[in-house]
Chains A and B, each alone.
Chain A
Amino acid sequence: MSVDTVEPGPTARYAPSRRRGQGRLMVGILLLCFFTVTPFLAVVVLALTPEGVLTIPHAWPSDLTLDNITQILQVGDFPRWFANSFIYAAVSVVIILLTAAMAGYALARKRFPGRNVILWSIIATLMVPLEATLIPLFILVKELGGIDTLWGLILPTLANAQAVFLMRQFIMGLPDELFDAARIDGAGEWRMFTRIVLPLIRPIVATLGIFIFLWHWNDLLWPLIVGQSDEARTLTVGLATLNTEDVSTTNIMAAALVSVVPCLVVYAVLQRYIVDSIVATGIKG
């Protein structure tokens, strides 16, 4: 796929023929932005509207309040769900990145018996949707005693074929000379990994880190079946149950707002990076 070329083609971007239609195009793109952005604005306004006050779409609230947010923090162990989501995402990111970097390094740079078999069987698992193995995975975690625990939630998600594959591709692209030089200097294997590989793979670590975090933070199905009690319930599961219960619109919007803030912060800070890495690797969240 030639999708990794981000440079604009040699199109005459400012040619008069192209500039003429700009006004119409602007209307189109503003409509699309209205489509993507307004729901967020609605969440913010609704979340800050005092309960019982007439609000959008009927009226703009006359005064705003943080009451809904403080209220929702007391509903059904909300802070606990938030912390669980964070642990689920953060711990998974760290372990996946470390193990995938190690495996990617071995699969790219070391010759050992069974290497190709291991590589191809890991890649082949990408063909099997996770949902198809949901039942045996649940039984396995149940037998291990991992139901309603955070480790039971985290462990099965550590098998991330995409991370292993992208790490391997990236490490294969590093110049051989670096490794040869380090070897001649007598660097041990672990030292070579921590001093040469880890610093050089920072771009792919960042890309994978962002996406693995978002996948976990936004994940519903697996946490739904593994974390039913408050001890292991994540924010997505908590929100989904709140939505079906008798909670006021303003309260549920406050909960939604709190849940989306970490994603928006990640996006605001790393926005250009996220966009570029989708184009470069085709990674899908």
Chain B
Amino acid sequence: MTVLATKPSRPHATQDRPRRRRTPLERREAFAGVVFVLPVLIIFLMFRFLPIAGAGGMSLTEYAINGEATFLGAENYQRLLNDDVFWHSLGVTVLYVAVFVPMILVVAMVAALLLESIVKLNGLFRSLLFLPYVTSFVMAGIIWTWIYSSDGPINSVLSAIDLPAIGFITGDQILVLASLALVSVWKGFGYAMLILLAGLKAQSGDIREAARIDGANGWQTFWLVTLPMLKPVVFFVLVIETIFSFKVFDTMYVMTGGGPSRASYTLIYMLYDQGFRFFDFGYAAAIGMALFVVVLALSLVQRRIFERKEA
């Protein structure tokens, strides 16, 4: 994803040369270039460009499992806009993003600040904090299903001291989404932590030291000096995690099945159901297009807001 942040440029190669016949060496080079790029080009044409074009096309049809397609025009989209389940799943997804993103940013920021200041055993702590990142959401989901369960560790402690059990993934919608978000934070905050940590280390310590000498306490230094200087990095993490969490599916599939009563039924879950439980491929493709539009709009809006604040 850094791709979007870095700008590839190679000035001397992109300059326009006057048009002339290629020399034999240049022709050999060009031929080699085409041959070397060919495997990737074929793979992309087949499995990336074709499906991207196909997604738009399919969303305009009713596509049966036997491959028969009937052109419908915008009918799938009209149906989508009138489908309560679609608005519900979009709402669930937005709510989940709204819970997850602040949670992961805070945890990752605290972890990065701690790692930046801690002297002893720094490497070990960094490894332990990053550890869950290499596991799968399925694995994370299995462990946390047990942790959250009625005879898991938390509820056992609660029942031992005569408190009612908490239905982490069976209770209120907001509790369920927060519990699911915590699983993703557990698995994923290591990435954001490393990016933020690198940003912190790239800052000159002089400015923070100066603020401290001027009498700012730790909290003031963080809010007025460290954080403003870190803004581009925070923004990078924010965009990546927002887009990432919009596509959430794995933890719901493993832990709640979208429930209880669709409380955690996200956009991708609906797409999966429409496509692979009801085999309504055209409609599912339209949901995919909606997802694409939302993700694209998100990155544009965030970019715009950020640029305005910068100016």
Contacts and interface: CB of A to CB of B under 8 A. Distances in A.
A9 interface: yes
A116 interface: yes
B240 interface: yes
Contact of A9 (B43, B49, B57, B202): B202
A169 B6 CA distance: 10
Given A3-B199, A214-B134, A239-B142, A103 B36 contact: yes
A200 interface: no
Interface stretch (A25-33, A65-73, A201-209): A25-33
A127 to B, nearest CB: 7
25 contacts: A22-B119, A25-B117, A32-B107, A42-B146, A57-B157, A103-B36, A103-B37, A110-B29, A112-B34, A125-B49, A134-B284, A136-B57, A165-B8, A172-B8, A189-B28, A189-B32, A225-B276, A239-B142, A249-B146, A263-B135, A271-B130, A272-B123, A278-B195, A279-B194, A284-B191
A218 B135 contact: yes
A267 to B, nearest CB: 5
The listed residue with most B CB atoms (<10 A of its CB), out of A39, A58, A102, is A39
B3 to A, nearest CB: 5
Interface residues of A, number: 120
Interface residues of B, number: 122
Interface string B268-311: 10011001100001001100110110011001000000000000
Contacts of A7: 201
Contacts, number: 344
Contact of A11 (B33, B205, B284): B205
B32 A106 contact: yes
A149 interface: no
A219 B119 CA distance: 36
B232 A57 contact: no
Contacts of A140: 46-47, 50-51, 54
Interface of B: 1-6, 8, 10, 13-14, 26, 28-37, 39-41, 43-44, 46-52, 54-55, 57-58, 63, 67, 107, 110-111, 114-115, 117-120, 123, 125-147, 151-153, 156-157, 186, 190-191, 194-195, 197-199, 201-206, 208-209, 212, 218, 232-233, 236, 240, 243-244, 247, 249-250, 253-254, 257, 268, 271-272, 275-276, 281, 284-285, 288-289, 291-292, 295-296, 299
Contacts of B3: 123, 126, 161-162, 165
Nearest to A271: B127
B136 A218 contact: yes
Q: Is the interface of B mostly helix, strand, loop or mixed?
A: helix
Interface in A40-67: 40, 42-43, 46, 56-58
A57 B153 contact: yes
Chain A interface, >50% SS class: helix
A132 B296 CA distance: 11
B11 to A, nearest CB: 12
A125 B52 CA distance: 9
Given A110-B30, A135-B58, A253-B146, A259 B139 contact: yes
A239 B141 CA distance: 10
A26 B295 CA distance: 39
Given A9-B201, A279-B198, A32 B6 contact: no
A135 B281 contact: yes
Interface string A146-185: 0000000001101101101100110010000000000000
Interface string A72-106: 00000000000000000000000000011011011
B286 to A, nearest CB: 9
Given A134-B288, A266-B134, 5 more contacts: A26-B118, A102-B39, A102-B40, A110-B36, A134-B275
Nearest to A11: B205
